Structure 1
Amino acid sequence: MVEFQTLEIPEFPKLTHNITWFARALRKAGLPIGSGRVIAAIEAVRVAGFSKREDFFWTLHACFVSRPEHRAVFAQIFRLYWRDPKFLEHMMAMLMPAVGGVQEERAANAGAKRAAEALLDGVQREIPDVPEQEGSEIEIDSSLTTSTEERLRTLDFEQMNTEEVAAAKRMLARLKLPVQPILSRRSKMDAMGRHADWRRTMRQAMRQGGDLQKLARKSPRIRWPNLIILCDISGSMSHYSRMVLHFLHAVANQKGAGWAKVYGFTFGTQLTNISRHIATRDVDAALAAAGSEAQDWEGGTRIGDCLHAFNRDWSRRVMGQGAVVLLITDGLDRGEPSQLGQAMRRLHLSSRRLIWLNPLLRWDGFLPKAQGIRTMLPEVDSFRAGHSIATLEQLAKEISRPDDVGEKHRLMAALGE
């Protein structure tokens, strides 16, 4: 465990100003902080004291953080504002465009990017002067000159800042996930039907003394499948899960899409049914209630245990005949591979189609090297990416195609090598 050093805090008036400015940066980064919380934080620091950095961190954390998804942003802004004297240089580096053809080896995570924009609000950012060398040219990232909406379609959810996340949520609310009806073996009376209904024809003839006057016809009944979404909310998936849940809410409250019912479940270390929450019309209220219901946000991953719990407790209630299952997870399981494989086989047999959305497919050359992915992949019908709006739009186009397999064939071939 890291030993925290004594924190040097200026006199109380300066501390009050710093906490207020810190709260303003958090609010800019998306945390719902009002003046009441700022006053409570100042009073809490006065009562608790600030002899240790750890005490100071958790005191402010208790006052300002109310949702699991805000922990990463709070920790990033706290580290840069209260601990790192050169936070401005770090933030400028995160937001600086690529110069001289040198690209970032690793993109900044979502928490760091939102923290950078919050702390540098109003700061003028300029492209640094680079000495021109023979045979070289300066390349400037021109993504800001393209259409914002078009760029957001292909932008990774994890790399979006606060404004981009808000815009992406509005785009997700407009997405549709239509489904084709399923032809049942049951039939209904239809004067223009393609098949003759001999039973009804004979009953009508018996009413007329055996005189066959008209040939009754019939057509197959149609039924609409249920949509089941199993969403991983572990630490590695939390940001993608929040965006997918916005998409799920739009699908659940969409009229005329064709789904009989939409059920939502989250899992990390335990399985949580959030179906009644996503049926709420207000998306913010729905996701807030779902977040409070699921107690394992940003925790570990027990995919096999959670799928076993779904098969045991919920499968017969919600699957029905012809249900389509969307499994959103990166497949990085910490449980026993044998139990995971058995749970996946049971889930596959119970569903009409099992579609796996994995954000790890955003990486070029992705291969199923993790044991969990190798165990789950043979048991799905389709394996697709799920890290951007464009991938969800592609899912909407392909979800009704029984021959769609996504990247499964390519990765199964890699497994055989």
Structure 2
Amino acid sequence: MNFSAYTSLSGNIVLFCRYLRQHGMRVSAAEQADALRAMRELGFYSAESLRLVLRAVLARSPQELQQFDELYEAFWRELERAQDAKIREHEQERLQQPDDPARKPPSLEVLKNWLHGNKSEEEKELAVCSSMEVLAKKDFSELHGEELQLVMQAIAVLARSLATRYSRRYRSVRRGGVLDMKKIMRSSMRRGGEVIDLAFRQHKIQRLRLVMLCDTSKSMDLYSRFLIQFMYSFHHADSRIETFVFSTRLHRITAQLQQGSFRSALQQLSDSVPDWSGGTRIGASLKTFAEQYGPRLLDARTLVLIMSDGWDTGEIDELEQAMQYLHARAGRVIWLNPLAGSPAYSPEVRGMKAAMPYIDIFAPVHNLESLKALSRMVHGLAGDVWRKKRR
């Protein structure tokens, strides 16, 4: 099956879920989201792997498994015919009205007709899928208008996902989760093998031990608002995370980010951080952190996340000594630089050159796609840290 003919794979999966609902299958919004998440995490290598992934997520009974197979084949046949019809229709209109560039046929009209659903809603769902794919790759400094709100919401979701990690170990729960068959069987042995009570279990949640330091100097103005949103959302997923900002001085902002809304948190920050959008003294700020907070907050199970472009007007020796301390004491040191998203970037400024030998992970943080990559990276590092803890 050739997917290159279709407008958007994620959009087509949304349409497929709607198609299943219209033919009597019980596909909820949560299962639709699970299908999209499964495709993102697992990927697909052939038409058959795509079918198997969607079948595992969306079909919940023997009857639905059979129905799924029939509807799956019918859906893609109809979609291919609709796509071909759409191409022919566009070509015909282009030939009939070559001198009217302003007249453009609706690109989803044929798809909407054969699906027989809510037309405006379907168009909106596909538009959202497409727009988020574009926004995920768009640099934060280029966003404007409604894009800002969409990206802020996406950042909040990413931060909550990143703040927790599920362990391979389980814990007992009263309800929810999955059946704990071992516990059920042990309990039944006391009753002659008769099962009376059910037991459930779910994966334990591993909380990150994370310290975040964000550069809010003038050179970071285009990115600092997004990064503060990231830190704020982290706090509301796990209040044990410690957060700091720095420009010419270091400021602990853990209390301010625990405010009820992002707007009130920003107001608190503007009142308590007088050198916001000022000069840059990264070395002095990190030295202050190392002396005042390092002994209490850092150990081999802690991840340190520094978000800065590396432009330092202070003493480079201070920066190097502070980074050496962080690298020696913390589990991992991650440096996120928004300028690193450019293909032509190389760490040539004095501050970055001094810090690089003591950085475990150096990565960009200029768009949503880079934050998604950070989420996968940190979850992997957190696993290493927790394995060290058990040893």
Q: Corresponding residue for 2:73?
A: none
Cα deviation, residue 154, structure 1: 1.1
Q: Corresponding residue for 1:389?
A: 368
Call closer, same or farther: CA 1:224–1:161 in 2, change over 3 Å.
closer
Cα deviation, residue 150, structure 1: 1.6
Of the three residues 331, 338, 359, the one matched with 2:317 is 338
Call closer, same or farther: CA 1:322–1:222 in 2, change over 3 Å.
farther
Aligned AA (1:314): Y
Aligned partners of 1:232 and 1:238 also within 8 Å: no
Separation (CA, whole Å) in 2 of partners of 1:383 and 1:331: 12
Aligned AA (2:346): L
Cα deviation, residue 403, structure 1: 11
Separation (CA, whole Å) in 1 of partners of 2:234 and 2:140: 19
Of the three residues 243, 246, 255, the one matched with 2:229 is 246
Q: Does 1:268 align with 2:253?
A: no
Matched position secondary structure for 2:333? strand
- Residue correspondences, number: 223
Say which structure is richer in helix.
2
Q: Corresponding residue for 1:307?
A: 286
Aligned partners of 2:156 and 2:233 also within 8 Å: yes
Task: Report 1:7-406 matches (<5 A).
Answer: 147-175=130-158, 176-180=161-165, 224-254=207-237, 261-402=240-381
Aligned AA (1:169): M
Call closer, same or farther: CA 1:286–1:235 in 2, change over 3 Å.
same
Call closer, same or farther: CA 1:339–1:225 in 2, change over 3 Å.
same
Separation (CA, whole Å) in 2 of partners of 1:403 and 1:262: 14
Separation (CA, whole Å) in 2 of partners of 1:374 and 1:172: 29
What percent of counterpart residues are identical?
30
Aligned partners of 2:324 and 2:358 also within 8 Å: yes
Aligned AA (1:235): K
Q: Which runs of 5+ in 1 are unaligned?
A: 1-126, 129-143, 184-191, 193-220, 405-417
Call closer, same or farther: CA 1:271–1:182 in 2, change over 3 Å.
farther
Call closer, same or farther: CA 1:179–1:378 in 2, change over 3 Å.
farther
Normalised by the length of structure 1, the TM-score is 0.49
Separation (CA, whole Å) in 1 of partners of 2:206 and 2:342: 38
Aligned partners of 2:163 and 2:208 also within 8 Å: no
Separation (CA, whole Å) in 2 of partners of 1:152 and 1:264: 27
Aligned partners of 1:228 and 1:325 also within 8 Å: yes
Matched position secondary structure for 1:237? helix
Q: Deviations over 1:264-292 (max 9, x none)?
A: 10000010110011112311111221232
Aligned partners of 2:213 and 2:243 also within 8 Å: yes
Q: Which runs of 5+ in 2 are unaligned?
A: 1-100, 103-126, 169-181, 183-203, 384-391
Matched position secondary structure for 1:169? helix
Call closer, same or farther: CA 1:349–1:179 in 2, change over 3 Å.
farther
Separation (CA, whole Å) in 2 of partners of 1:347 and 1:182: 27
Aligned partners of 1:238 and 1:297 also within 8 Å: no
Normalised by the length of structure 2, the TM-score is 0.53
Aligned partners of 1:355 and 1:383 also within 8 Å: yes
Call closer, same or farther: CA 1:370–1:148 in 2, change over 3 Å.
same
Q: In terms of Rg, which structure is larger?
A: 1
Separation (CA, whole Å) in 2 of partners of 1:250 and 1:403: 19
